[in-house]
Structure 1
Amino acid sequence: MQKVLLITYYWPPSGGAGVQRWLKLTKYLGMHGVKPYVLTVDEAHASYMQEDHSLLQDVGEDVKVYKTKSFEPINYYAKLVGKDKVPTAGFSNVDNTKWSQKMVNAIRSNLFVPDPRRGWNHYAYKKAVEIITKEQIEVVITTSPPHSTQLLGLKLQKKLNIKWIADLRDPWTDIYYYELLGHSFFSKKLDAYWEKQVVKHADKIITVSQSLKNIFFTKDNSIDEAKIYIVPNGFDPEDFEGSEKKPHHGFVIGYTGTMSDKYNPLPFFDSLQTIVKQFDNIDIKLQIVGRISKAIQQYISNLDVEFELINTVPHSQIVQYQKDADLLLLVIPDIPSADSILTGKLFEYIATGNKIIGIGPAQSEVADILEKCELGQMFDRNNREGMATYIENIIHAYLQNKKNKANRVEIEKYSRAYQAQHIRDIICELLNT
């Protein structure tokens, strides 16, 4: 059995999307001849934006977890201003027009490169060396964000000559909110340097989409494209077993997760209001579970649309909300590189078998996946008429009690159990070279 050490900052009781990928993959790796060990930060020292203790029950029985303390500047800032004022991913919870927030962003980006969670690396490196030696680890896998975790793999490879796989779930210097971070010329150069070192020296790279593969491949001319593999985000089939769709009143359009101003969902809400006026024989409700910006919340409140906003809940409850919806809303941030975004929630949406309406590039990887799975369609933001017509058709099908048709064979490719086999194959290939 091959032994691998996964180094990840996000691990239960951390909540949010970042923890899902490897929490689920490690659960299935043991079924394919891979023994996973996990190194993560002790939650008593971590700066998680949210916690979800229900995820602890998803940790595989054969997964050995090691934890270390950390130095977290974010925690000191949170004590001063309150945890709700600490920016989340995409900055959906703060006002970046304020000079005070811009100053905080600049301090964060210029003093802590690539990110403030680099304070964990000192403790994590020592523990990693101990685990590798004690357990005779053959391969190290580092997953990010935070991208500072990748520097651990870089150092371990250099010092111990161990095989290293870098899993890059998100863009690094190409992330859509990068300009909001307030980098100076020098900190931006340093950040780009570390990104280049990681993609150049990692023995194998795993990322979540073809678009991201293209981004990382172009970081250095010496990078062999063949060493970059695509393992999309996915879903755990066990999350969707044993619970049925709960009956409810009216037609529910559901959204789960964060939504910052960069998402620009306003054209969809305008289309929705048009549809609400057409159907006086059924109640139509927009239900959002998660965090949205104050501006978006205010915009919805001014519409003649029934609206329910539910604060962050445990992942097990999020899945139930997704299953209970009659139509799921997927919104891709309105940015130049939008066609390269492949959000993790897409795959949980797909697992429900519910219809999906996507707002973003009509020509994109997301659009291709929805079409192949036969579960939905993407619409450009200026296509308000197309959105309205699609919603109208879904409501008519709902009223006629028509069952959704889906391509279950295609959907199964995004199962974590299926993807764990691909990870096993990458590890075997690395060890045999």
Structure 2
Amino acid sequence: MVAQGDLVKVFYKEKIIEGLLMPEDNSEFTFLKMSSGYNIGLKTSSVKKIELLKKKFSLPKKNEIIVLKKDLPTISILHTGGTIASKVDYSTGAVIAKFSESDILKLFPEIELFANIKSHLVRNMQSEMIRFAHYNLLAKAVEKEIKAGAQGIILTHGTDTLHYTAAALSFALENINVPVILVGSQRSSDRGSTDAAVNLIAAMQFIVNSDFAGVAICMHENFNDENCLILPACKSRKMHTSRRDAFRPINTSPIARVNHEKKQIVFLSDYNKKVNYNGLKLSLKLFNDKLKIGLLKAHVNMFASEFLAYKDFDGLVIELLGIGHLPTMKVDEFTSENDKLLKAVRELVKNMPVVVAPQTIYGKIDMNVYSPGRQLIQSGLIGNYTDMTPETAFIKLAWLLSNHKKDVKELFSKNLRGEISDRSEKEGFLI
């Protein structure tokens, strides 16, 4: 009699396929995890026979350490949902977030080889639904696991706003002295093309075999499954809707490359080490979840009313054009509205911090190059000479208003968590 987690041989149509027998949530399909780390679904009606090859892994109960081994570190997996914890609803063809935290362990039983695993469900939701209150919830969950003895944290997360959460936790977890790695996937975990297994295993290996401390992201380096990149929390971005290597470092290099098959880690840039935080205590600096922060993209044919729509907000991020431009000058009979834009910006600045980020994503803001830009500086816009992504600027502004409201102007342009580059490097473009 075969059971979930057993190594089996499946006689399927005219083929013989070996793999780990996965949970059967849909009797129409039989799921196997292949040695490559991929999962495949076989139509049950075409399965002639299943033979047991080896009793391999005993599957854990919910919120239970799989195997307690004194010589292995303890890593906590905090589950929030997203594609990495999704499956295909075969009745509709849609991808739904359904797996609980125990399902994660059933899907990836090999991760118990690296560490003692604790798994907790924080939320099961798509990442686009996240609000500031969830960042506080996650920060408190991380703190709880660290106090309980976890030497590292893996946070499973949907990819759409993973870079927002990475930045938020980087700011909220002050003096974090363990690795906190956010992991997602672009393909649901029960699809043959899933990148979930490789990303999760690479993150696990990086935590166990490095001295890194802080928040980072672990995702595929390219199309194949050979390497994953460890990316800086505040200088990374999702740059493609569906590619498995969608997450890229912005204006910087990756922290490290992990080859999960060779169990090899190559550091590619400077990073925070655990030893740097000896004697420092983790402190939570949480978000005011009532804040209203706007994010406005500059474009042609703008109207002053677009800016004034944010007059009741607590702060605003403007994605400037090019090196730092807004259409604020009247140059002919068609551009009289541009004068009103500058007046609208000045009106906003009276009541809230208005900060800037480059719409180009890459490169540094320099509003001193042209006279219209100098007008923006004189009007009170904050963030000249910074190269934060718009998303990181959004998170940083919210965090500063939550914790250092009187010092926003000074601190926004100061590098606090590696979000601002000391200098521009050609290696940081289109990696």
What is the TM-score when the length of structure 1 is the normalising length? 0.25
**Bigger Rg over Cα:** 2
Choose between structure 1 and 2 for higher RCO, CA contacts under 8 A separated by at least 6 residues: 1
What is the TM-score when the length of structure 2 is the normalising length? 0.25
Larger strand proportion of the pair: 2
